[in-house]
């Protein structure tokens, strides 16, 4: 686990404060938080303590949750799905036309929000975008985009 460090309670508390400030998420996440050298945050079940990892070469482990960028937390698609149901603000609801644009990897129009927002269509959480000026920037990786 030379590429990953386990975050302490103070660092986890900072992440939870960012979740509350950005998305109104006030719940707890009962996981071990890990961070790699690039600043990506991973979540893993606390039972990992029962496994001897000292003899293994591990680059990443667990669920990629997000990354802190310029003092804001950018959630992964799975991160948005994990906290989305309990998030209270900065959620953008897409209509069917916007959904097609988003899934193709295109940016969508925006006139209300600033900063990172959770993207949702009906009950499905589709990831996070960065609202800037008049659009929301799409962060869906090319490998996960859908050709419609």
pLDDT at 2 over 70: no
- Whose tokens are 């990892």? That residue is 53
What's the structural domain count of the chain?
Answer: 2
Residues 118 and 58 in one domain: no
Domain co-membership, 9 together with 74? yes
Note the pLDDT tens digit of each residue in 86-99: 999 999 999 999 99
Residues 104, 129 contacting (CB under 8 angstroms): no
Confidence at residue 138, expressed as pLDDT on a 0 to 100 scale: 92
34 and 15 co-located in one domain: yes
Q: Whole-model pTM above 0.75?
A: yes
Do 76 and 102 sit in the same domain of this protein?
Answer: no
Q: Is residue 68 a contact partner of residue 76, using CB atoms and an 8 Å limit?
A: no
Position of tokens 């960028």?
Answer: 69
For position 59, what pLDDT does the model report?
63
Q: Considering 89, 105, 126, which residue would you say is the last residue of a domain?
A: 89
Q: In terms of domains, do 26 and 78 share one?
A: yes
Q: In this structure, are 68 and 128 located in the same domain?
A: no
Q: For the domain that residue 16 is a member of, what is the CATH number? A: 3.10.450.720
Q: Which residue range is the domain that position 99 belongs to?
A: 90-148
Q: Which of 132, 145, 128, 140 is nearest to 92 (CA)?
A: 128
36: confidence class by pLDDT, cuts 50, 70, 90: confident
113 and 81 within one domain: no
- Pick from 89, 109, 125: which residue ends a domain? 89
In a shared domain, residues 105 and 84: no
CATH at residue 106: 2.30.130.60
Segment 58-69 shows an average pLDDT of 85
Q: Are residues 69 and 106 in the same domain?
A: no
Closest C-alpha among 108, 128, 133, 106 to residue 117: 128
């Amino acid at each position: 686990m030379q590429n990953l460090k386990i975050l302490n309670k103070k660092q986890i508390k900072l992440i939870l404060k960012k979740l509350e400030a950005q998305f109104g998420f006030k719940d707890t996440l009962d996981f071990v938080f890990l961070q790699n050298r690039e600043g990506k945050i991973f979540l893993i079940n606390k039972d990992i303590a029962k496994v001897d990892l000292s003899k293994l070469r591990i680059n990443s482990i667990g669920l990629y949750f997000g990354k802190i960028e310029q003092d804001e937390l950018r959630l992964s698609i799975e991160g948005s799905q994990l906290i989305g149901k309990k998030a209270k603000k900065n959620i953008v609801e897409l209509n069917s036309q916007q959904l097609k644009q988003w899934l193709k990897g295109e940016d969508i129009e925006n006139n209300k929000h600033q900063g990172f927002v959770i993207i949702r269509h009906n009950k499905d959480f589709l990831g996070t975008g960065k609202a800037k000026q008049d659009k929301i920037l799409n962060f869906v990786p090319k490998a996960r985009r859908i050709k419609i």
